[in-house]
Structure formats: C-alpha cells, structure tokens
Amino acid sequence: MDQNDSKIARNLTDLLMNDWKNIFLSDLGKAYFDSLGDQLIERVNSEKVFPPLASVFQAFNLCSFEDTQVVLIGQDPYHGPGQAHGLCFSVPNGIALPPSLKNIKKELHQDLDVWMNHESGDLTHWAKQGVLMLNTILTVSEDKPGSHAHLGWQQLTSFALDKLNTEKEHLVFLLWGAHAQKLASSIDRNKHLLLEAAHPSPLSANRGGWFGNHHFSKTNEYLLAHDKKPIQWL
C-alpha cells in the first residue's frame, strides 16, 4: 500500500462530502471510523481491495441524505479488477457488464420499453437523481466475495438505513435477492414502498421472480403519487 492509501484509510471521514458526514460522526463517532480505517490498512497491506479507497463512500457522496428518494440495496462490491466504483450493481465505463447488470438492463427494457446504453454499465446518473446505491458492505478483497463482512461496515450501513427509515417519508426501497430482503422487517411499510424481487444474477433470475417485476415503473408511479420527481432510468 502506498502512502496515499494509508492516509485515506486513516482519515475515512475526509472522504464524506455532504450531510452524511455530520450524520455519521454525530452518532457513530470518530472512534468507529478510526477502527475501521485501521482494519482497512491491514487488508490493503496484504491484499488488493476494491473499490479504490477514494471511492468507498461514493454512494453517499453522489446521493445526500436530503436528496435520497430511492434506496437500492446490494451486498458487497464486485471483486474483480476495475469493476467496483462505490455504487452497487454499477461498473465504470469501459468495463464489461456483469451478468446481474445485463439482467437489470433487460428488465428495464421490458418494463419501460427503453434501452440503456448497451456498452456502459455506469449507473452514476441514477445516484445523482436520488437513488442511494448502497452495498451493505463497502469493501472487498480481490476474488473473495464477502471477505470484509466482519470489518464493521454493516454498522454504518444499517445506521444509514435506519436514519432514512425513521426521518424520511415516501422512499422506495428496492430489495433484490435474499440478502437485501432480510432488511425488510426493519423498514416501515406505512411510510415507504418496499419492492422485492429475486436477485438479478442469472442463477436467481432464471429461476423466476426477477423478470417482469416492473420495479422501475412502480418506483416512478409511487414517486409521482407523492409529488416527487421520477427517476430517468436511461
């Protein structure tokens, strides 16, 4: 690990750029981030860690607490080189589309009769419109899915979800797959819309329960019904 990575890991809160920073620091405290940074340093010293540390909080930085309208839950980042950039299911431009993302695009086409850019898997434009694209675990070691499950990321992401659930109204929670659906019991269905479906990965999608879920159109119908701006999914 170079000096820059070490500095980033030791000063994680410097990577938070909006209202989430004060929210997290006021409740989780600096000691939590210091401990997490120390653990990340250990991992980066011995393994390749994704996404780049500077992008770890990209989901929060592109979608402030105030602007959040939709919450899309993933598990942990893609674990191949160049894939993860801080947004669940998304990959940077120029990176081949993972199978799950291909199926997301297929469902979008079936639902709204539109095609996203075939070659680009970058969903940054969703995040900038108020879609919090949040993995429950924010880092991973190369080729080792779930390898950072015990670093403490879930404390932060669970806190963020609880804050959204209790302090905001009329959010849409997209829960795709068993991991995301475990969070359903902690979300107030009287205040928010929960949309659940099978995971878009080929193994799950081909068993049924993914294609035909119409989550994109249902999300926009709900937002419009509550005087909110719909998401331009293209």
Tell me the CA end-to-end span of the chain in Å, nearest whole number: 38
Question: 12 is written with which tokens?
Answer: 């994680």
SS3 state of residue 163: helix
Residue by residue, DSSP assigns 117-128 as -SS----HHHHT
Q: Active site includes 76?
A: yes
Residue among 76, 122, 162, 188 flagged as catalytic = 76
Contact assessment for residue 208 and residue 229, using Cβ atoms and an 8 Å cutoff: no
Question: What sign does the CA torsion over 6, 7, 11, 17 have?
Answer: negative
Strand partners, 50: 140
Question: 28 is written with which tokens?
Answer: 């989780």
Residues carrying an active site annotation: 76
